[in-house]
Amino acid sequence: MLLLCWVVLFAIISGNFGNYLGIPYLFLDPVYLNKVNFSGFFIMGVTLAGFSIAFHITSYITDGHRFSFIGVLPKPFTVFSLNNSIIPFIFLFSYVVYIIQYQVSNEFITDDLLFKNLLGLLSGYVIMTLAIFIYLWFTNNDIFKYVVCKVDEKLKQNIKVTRASAMKKLNIAKKKQIRVDSYLNLDFEARKVDDSERFYDRNTILQVFDQNHFNLVIIELLILVLLLLMGIFRDQEVFQLPAAASFVLLLTIFVMFSGAFSYWFGSWSPTIAIIVLLIVNSLVKEGMFNKTYKAFGLDYSTQLASYNLQRINQLNSKTNQEQDKRETLKILDTWRSKFPKEEKPRMVFLCVSGGGQRAALWTLNALQKADSTTEGRLMKNTMLITGASGGLIGASYYRELYLRQLSDNTIDHYAKLYRDKIGSDNLNAIIFSLLMNDAFVGMQKFKYNGYEYAKDRGYTFEQQLNKNTEFILDKKLIDYRKPERESKIPMMIMAPTIINDGRKLYISSQHISYMMETVDSTYTGEKVSGVEFLRFFKEQESEELRFLSGLRMSATFPYITPNITLPSEPPIEIMDAGITDNFGISDAVRFLFAFKDWIAQNTRGVVFVSIRDSEKNGPISKETNLSLFERFTLPISSIYQNFESLQDITNDNKIEYAKSWFKGEIERVDIQYIPQDYAKENLSTSDSLRMENVQRASLSWRLTGREKRSLIENIHTKKNEEALQKLKNLLSDNSVPASILVNQ
């Protein structure tokens, strides 16, 4: 288990584990207080030193008895740790090398800043190591004398199990000694083991064990107390460690407890571990450890909404659909009134893809560029925004900025400032909360809309996003109803996936049951495709839903942002919208179908503007040199790898089919993030990325400086410039008069 932890760390820093998710960058470019500097690297050094010492302590407690000669040496634990440091030292050296390679190749860092960062790492490592070993140096002496001279009898009375375990280790040690011919002493000199040092007295092993076991307990308690204190104040950014440091801290706790577990149960450890696992599994099945992550603003104390086929069909009645259509037609009429009567505008459906913070920054960047290129006509012509995950977050942020600048002309919604804010780190707080809250604290509460909720990872995600966007998205769902009805801003539909049965949960400030309208009205066996959130959870105050919670439901990232459970019976669990459609095309087509006659009569057609953080028609790669395991998993892995491609094919088919029932023009504009395109077109520039360093920004809630630059500069590729020009031409004021269109 100890070696496995080191294997994981080596795999991460070398880029062989979690590269797609950007996990190596958390170690190679640690962010603290939204900056990569001396402080972040210093904290990394401190936590890595703590992990190394935990490795030494656990190794000593579990295996020290196999080196009996150490027991008669002065400072036996220090000697043991020095000779046990090959792996930690190799890791530290490798870590420094990988940091240098990454920072020089990807972040274009100056030599002075790189030296300062490495100094932070090494000074943190050295200071933490010295602090703990100085503590052990002095306490070992004191405890040794105390044990030998004063409390041997007391130990016999009060630590019978401990001493019995120590004697058992002693008996094993006599039979399973590991041969050692020489070792490094505290002067870093190689010294041969004398026969006199192989003697291991009964009292010596008891004394050595007792003193180091006590120190282990003290260090463990100090770490736990520190974690608890930090957890209490985790809302303060200064206490939010870099995500990589939180991970190392979690490994440290795991190593310490696994060592203690191994010591107490010895050779029975695997059996006991399996038994404990089975017991915990049974308790989880009984709901003992089930943690419910809630959507803020909803009332979970009232009677739960019944989630069954009868109620789904009842709420999806034709009466409700027609009523909701009438209300939305008023919005369409208001949208139409923004344009001259003699001119038929094009209606824009803005479809944004998911993809964590990568998609959020790319979407905001693309919207700023596209809207400014069209001189504001993009947002004016956009009727609906759909999509998933990070894309919806970026689009929501831009929509709110657009709304605010309508009443405050001092706001420049095209400013670089907002790209910096949406690109700010959102992962440290989440990972820190995962360690602090879910594992240790979990009892803190806060109030929203008069109801009490736990400060869990969902709360942390929303609060950090709130801070990054200067709290302008901290609204209720109902707050967007009026500006949408007045057509000041486009309607937005969030469509996360219901895990229970795969349906969509349609969340909007308007009633939109028409999104479940079927194309073939003669077939009565068609499965209802979704549930309208507002109507379904009306008794649970659906209109009061925190808008950020709605975004969180659409951006549920596995194991990072937890699944939300809604107040229903059985409980509805929500997953990322990207599972069913990561691009939002299918929902836009459904909206088009619901109002196909009005749109055909009052517009020159529709434009599907797809802002996606992935290449639609990428090169086809050949799988070569596959291992046996890769060949075995290929049927499943290929589906996962081609998940977006499968959705693209489905969406293309839906739009092609739409051309058969929509009596108007359908245009498509794709704005795509393809980092290789920018590199190919800009290799001659001094500040461009080299081809061998071109990588797609990672799927994460934290981006490196290189990734941010890649996302922002990629809007200037030839393909994207052509797409923007096409969009500008489509939305040009040089429109064909409505009378001519009618005659045609």
DSSP 11-61: HHHTTSSSTTTTHHHHHHS--BTTB-SHHHHHHHHHHHHHHHHHHHHHHHH
pLDDT reading at 367 higher than 70: yes
Residue 693 pLDDT more than 50? no
Tell me: do 530 and 604 sit in the same domain: yes
Residue 699: per-residue pLDDT: 79
- 627 inside domain: no
Residue with tokens 């996936």: 497
pLDDT digits (tens, 9 = 90+) for 582-599: 999 999 999 999 999 999
Mean pLDDT of 365-387: 96
Q: Rank 84-93, 98-107, 282-291, 428-437 by mean pLDDT and report only the highest.
A: 84-93
The per-residue pLDDT for 442 is 56
* CA 101 – CA 104 distance, rounded (Å): 5
Q: Report if residue 633 sits inside a domain.
A: no
One domain for residues 222 and 266: yes
CB neighbour burial string for 53-65, b if at least 16 within 10 angstroms, e if fewer: bbbbbbbbbbbbb
d(CA 407, CA 422): 22
Q: Yes or no: say if 2 and 58 are a contact pair by the CB < 8 Å rule.
A: yes
Question: Are 133 and 211 part of one and the same domain?
Answer: yes
Q: Which range is least confidently modeled, 152-166, 270-284, 627-641? A: 152-166
| Pick from 456, 376, 340, 459: nearest CA to 735 | 340
Residue 621 within any structural domain of the chain? no
User: Number of C-alpha atoms within 13 angstroms, CB side, residue 236?
Assistant: 7
* DSSP states of 684-697: TSTTSPPGGG--PP
Last residue of a domain, one of 286, 320, 335: 286
What CATH number does the domain containing 554 carry?
3.40.1090
How does pLDDT run across 243-273, given as a tens digit for each residue? Answer: 899 899 888 888 887 777 776 777 788 888 8
pLDDT at 152: 40
> How many CB atoms within 10 Å of residue 501?
13
Percent of the chain with pLDDT over 90: 49
Report the pLDDT value the prediction gives residue 295, as an integer from 0 to 100.
Answer: 96
Coil, helix or strand for 573? strand
pLDDT score at 151 = 33
The 10s digit of each residue's pLDDT in 654-691 is: 999 999 999 999 999 999 999 877 667 765 544 444 44
pLDDT of residue 264: 72
* DSSP H or E segment with residue 8: helix 2-13
CA distance 408 to 303: 43
530 φ, ψ (degrees, to nearest 5) = -165, -175
d(CA 631, CA 101): 33
Angle (CA) 9-10-12 rounded to 5° is 65
Cα dist from 158 to 48, 145, 215, 571, 725, whole Å: 35, 18, 17, 50, 82
Dist. CA 433–CA 231, nearest whole Å: 8
Residue 253 is predicted with a pLDDT of: 82
Q: How many residues does the chain have?
A: 744
662 and 608 in contact (C-beta within 8 Å)?
no
Residue 386, SS3? strand
Q: How confident is the model at residue 212 (pLDDT cuts 50, 70, 90)?
A: low
pLDDT > 70 in the chain, percent: 79
**Same-domain check for residues 459 and 569:** yes
- With beta carbons less than 8 A apart as the criterion, state whether 350 and 382 touch: yes
Specify the pLDDT at position 694.
54
Mean pLDDT of the chain: 83
- Assess whether 242 and 367 both reside in one domain: no
Q: Which two tokens stand for residue 174?
A: 């006599």
The range of the structural domain enclosing residue 91 comes to 1-152+165-286
Spell out the residues 6+ positions from residue 226 whose beta carbon is closer than 8 angstroms to its own.
none
Same domain, 231 and 310: no
Q: What is the DSSP string of 322-367?
A: HHHHHHHHHHHHHHHTTS-TTBPPPEEEEEE---HHHHHHHHHHHH
Q: Is the pLDDT of residue 196 over 70?
A: no
pLDDT at 742: 35
Most confident of 405-419, 432-446, 512-526: 405-419
What local confidence, expressed as pLDDT, does residue 19 receive?
79
Residue 107's pLDDT is: 65
What is the model's pLDDT at position 284?
Answer: 72
Number of structural domains, the chain?
Answer: 2
Residue 147 pLDDT grade (very low, low, confident, very high; cuts 50, 70, 90)? very low
Helices 202-232 and 38-63: crossing angle in degrees, nearest 10, is 150
Confirm if 589 and 331 have CB atoms less than 8 A apart. Answer: no
What pLDDT sits at residue 181? 84
> Please, which pLDDT band fits residue 75 given cuts at 50, 70 and 90?
confident
The predicted structure's pLDDT at residue 144: 35
Which amino acid belongs to residue 73? Answer: L
Q: Can you tell me whether residue 237 is helix, strand or coil?
A: helix
Q: Which residue in 615, 580, 613 sits closest to 698, CA to CA?
A: 613
pLDDT, average across residues 458-472: 93
If asked whether residues 389 and 274 sit together in one domain, one would say no
Helix (H) or strand (E) holding 126: helix 111-149
397, pLDDT greater than 90:
yes
Q: Is residue 630 part of a domain?
A: no
Helices 38-63 and 2-13, axial angle in degrees (round to 10): 160
Q: Is the dihedral of CA 168, 174, 176, 182 positive or negative?
A: positive
Domain end, chosen from 255, 286, 317, is at 286
Residue of higher predicted confidence among 740 and 106: 106
Say what the pLDDT of residue 58 is.
83
pTM metric for this prediction: 0.85
**CA neighbor of 673 nearest in space, from 628, 704, 631, 709:** 709
Q: Confidence class of residue 142 from pLDDT cuts 50, 70 and 90?
A: very low
Pair (282, 313) in one structural domain:
no
The reply to whether 238 falls in a domain is: yes
How far from the centroid of its chain's Cα atoms is residue 305's Cα?
30
**Domain for residue 127, yes or no?**
yes
Residues 279 and 345 in one domain: no
pLDDT score, position 499 = 93
Q: How far apart are the first and last CA of the chain?
A: 76
Where is average pLDDT lowest: 26-35, 287-296, 359-368? Answer: 287-296
How do residues 515-560 score in pLDDT, each as one tens digit?
998 765 556 667 888 999 999 999 999 999 999 999 999 998 766 7
Q: Quick one: pLDDT band at residue 414, thresholds 50, 70, 90? A: very high
pLDDT of residue 429: 82
Q: CA triplet 19, 25, 26: central angle to 5 degrees? A: 115
More confident residue, 229 or 312: 312
CA dihedral 81, 86, 90, 93 (to 10 degrees): 50
pLDDT value of residue 220? 66
With respect to residue 438, please indicate whether it lies within any of the assigned structural domains. yes
In the prediction, which pLDDT does 187 show? 81
pLDDT of 288-341, one tens digit each?
Answer: 667 789 999 999 999 999 999 999 999 999 999 999 999 999 999 999 999 999
DSSP string computed for 476-531: BGGGGHHHHHTTSS-EE-B-PEETTTS-EEEB-SS--GGGG--S-TT-S-PPP-EE
Verify that 398 and 341 share a domain, yes or no.
Answer: yes
Q: Are residues 333 and 276 in the same domain?
A: no
Does a structural domain hold residue 300? no
Pairwise pLDDT comparison (20 vs 659), residue with the higher score = 659
* pLDDT attached to residue 631: 64
> Based on the domain organization, do 98 and 225 belong to the same domain?
yes
Q: How far apart are CA 18 and CA 9, in angstroms?
A: 11
